C-alpha cells in the first residue's frame, strides 16, 4: 500500500498526541517507520508552488493535482486530523485559459472592471473587501486562477440589457460558468471562488435564469459551510484571520442567507 508523506506525517502526529507522546498542534514529531509501507519523499517545486513527490529517477511520480485531491480528501473526510495536524490546502496555480485572459488580461482592464463594480454592485452587495481585492492585484504576485475567476464574474454582473441586446446569457456569463466548473474539478477551493459563485447566483436570480439560479444558491451554501463561514459569523476572536477577513466572510455568509431566503419566498 502506498501513501504520500503528508498523510503519513499528519496521521502519525495525531496518533502520538493521543498516546501522550507529544503535542500534535506543535508538529514537533518526526515520521515513524511503518513496516510494509512505501513512502514517496517530497521536494519543493517552485514552478507549481506545491510539493511534488519524486520517483526512483527523480521524476514526479504523481502530479500536483493528485496531491491537491489527497489533502482535500483529508479536509472533508476527517477535518479533525486536518486541523490537529496543521495541514493546509496547498496553493495550486491552475492555468488561466485564453477565453478568460482575453477579457481581463490587461491590468488596466482589471482596474476598470473593479472600479465599475465597486461603484455599482458593491453598493448593494458588499461581499468583496476593496483592501483584500486590490492587494491580490499586486503586479509582483503571480496571477491566481481564483482571482481571474472573480474578475470575470465582476465584469459579468455589471452587464445590463439594452434594446439591441437583452439576452442575459452573455459570453462573460458562459465563460464564468465554464471556468468555475473547471476550477472546481481542479480542486481550487478558496473564498474568491465562493465570491465569484455568489455573483453568478445574484446575476442568475436578477435575470431569471432558471433552474441554474436554484442550483447555484445551493452550491454557494455548501461551499460556504465547507469553508466554515457559518462558524465564523459567531466568532469574535481566536482565529488567524484579520478583522477585515473576518468581516468579509461574515458579509459573504449573510448575503448567501438573504439570497436563499429571497428564493424561498416563492418556492417553499
Q: What pLDDT score was predicted for residue 230?
A: 84
Domain range summary for the chain, segments of one domain joined by +: 2-84, 98-263
Q: List pLDDT tens digits, range 5-39.
A: 444 344 443 344 444 444 444 443 333 344 454 54
Q: List pLDDT tens digits, range 88-123.
A: 666 556 788 999 988 887 667 889 999 999 999 999
pTM: 0.71
Positions in the chain short of pLDDT 50: 1-35, 37, 39-62
Q: What pLDDT score was predicted for residue 234?
A: 63
Buried b (16+ CB within 10 A) or exposed e, 94-116: bebeeebeebbeeeeebeebbee
| Residue 175 grid cell | 465563460
Q: What pLDDT score was predicted for residue 79?
A: 60
Q: What pLDDT score was predicted for residue 8?
A: 39
CA torsion sign, 107 to 108 to 114 to 117? Answer: negative
* CB-side neighbour CA atoms (13 Å) of 28: 6
Residue in 117, 123, 119, 149 with CA at minimum distance from that of residue 136? 149
Amino acid at each position: 500500500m502506498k501513501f504520500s508523506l503528508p498523510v503519513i506525517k499528519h496521521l502519525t502526529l495525531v496518533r502520538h498526541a493521543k498516546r501522550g507522546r507529544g503535542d500534535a498542534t506543535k508538529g514537533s514529531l518526526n515520521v515513524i517507520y511503518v513496516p510494509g509501507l512505501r513512502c514517496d519523499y517530497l521536494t519543493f517545486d517552485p514552478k507549481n508552488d506545491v510539493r511534488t513527490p519524486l520517483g526512483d529517477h527523480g521524476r514526479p511520480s504523481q502530479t500536483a493535482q493528485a496531491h491537491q485531491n489527497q489533502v482535500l480528501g483529508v479536509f472533508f473526510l476527517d477535518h479533525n486530523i486536518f486541523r490537529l495536524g496543521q495541514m493546509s490546502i496547498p496553493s495550486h496555480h491552475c492555468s488561466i485559459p485564453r477565453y478568460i485572459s482575453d477579457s481581463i488580461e490587461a491590468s488596466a482592464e482589471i482596474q476598470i472592471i473593479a472600479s465599475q463594480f465597486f461603484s455599482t454592485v458593491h453598493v448593494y452587495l458588499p461581499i468583496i473587501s476593496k483592501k483584500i481585492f486590490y492587494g491580490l492585484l499586486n503586479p509582483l504576485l503571480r496571477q491566481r486562477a481564483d482571482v481571474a475567476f472573480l474578475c470575470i464574474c465582476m465584469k459579468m454582473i455589471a452587464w445590463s440589457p439594452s434594446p439591441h441586446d437583452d439576452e442575459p446569457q452573455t459570453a462573460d456569463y458562459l465563460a464564468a460558468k465554464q471556468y468555475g466548473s473547471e476550477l472546481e474539478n481542479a480542486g481550487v477551493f478558496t473564498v474568491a471562488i465562493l465570491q465569484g459563485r455568489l455573483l453568478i447566483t445574484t446575476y442568475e436570480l436578477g435575470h431569471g435564469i432558471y433552474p441554474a439560479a436554484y442550483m447555484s444558491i445551493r452550491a454557494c451554501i455548501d461551499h460556504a459551510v465547507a469553508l466554515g463561514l457559518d462558524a465564523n459569523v459567531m466568532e469574535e476572536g481566536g482565529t488567524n484571520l484579520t478583522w477585515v477577513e473576518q468581516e468579509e466572510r461574515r458579509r459573504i455568509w449573510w448575503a448567501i442567507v438573504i439570497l436563499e431566503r429571497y428564493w424561498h419566498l416563492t418556492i417553499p
